[in-house]
Amino acid sequence: MKSLLRETAPKCEALLPRPAPLIRLADASSIPYRYSLWVHFEGYMSSFAGREELFSSIHKAFSEAGLEVTAEVQDVRFERKRPANRLRRGGAHCRFCDGCDFLHLMREAGRVREPDDELL
């Protein structure tokens, strides 16, 4: 895995050659292992096209090697420290995407119980 990332990253034209791409083991506590690839772009705006090129290149290299990228596991946690009326008004938003109201989705799926009005 690391060797595929090491070979693929420098081929992307949008990446700066210095500092060189850095590959680190992010999590070895479960299977599959998770790696982080640190790269640098010329600027903020060039990072958008650069990430697209990099992700496509990595996907192609993995596919050719017979590897599949696993689905991302998201852990959504709600803390009871916040008052229930605050959750009702604003909703609980996911840290991975703007505007996604998971509490609303969980309510629709019947997985979240509405707080009792007398507790508010």
Asked whether the predicted pLDDT for residue 35 surpasses 60, the reply is yes
6, 35: one domain = yes
pTM here is: 0.53
Determine, yes or no, domain membership for 74.
no
**Residues 6 or more apart from 10 whose CB is under 8 A from it?**
17, 20, 21
Determine, yes or no, domain membership for 72.
no
Rounded to an integer, what distance in angstroms lies between the CA atom of residue 52 and that of residue 61?
14
Q: What is the pLDDT of residue 52?
A: 94
- Residue-number span of the structural domain to which 101 is assigned: 84-119
Q: Which residue carries 């990072």 as its tokens? A: 47
54, 9: one domain = yes
CB 88 within 8 A of CB 119: no
Q: What is the pLDDT of residue 33?
A: 84
Rounded to an integer, what distance in angstroms lies between the CA atom of residue 36 and that of residue 46?
20
Q: Which residues pair with 41 in a beta bridge?
A: 15
For residue 29, give the nearest of 79, 90, 73 by alpha carbon.
73
Determine, yes or no, domain membership for 24.
yes
Determine, yes or no, domain membership for 29.
yes
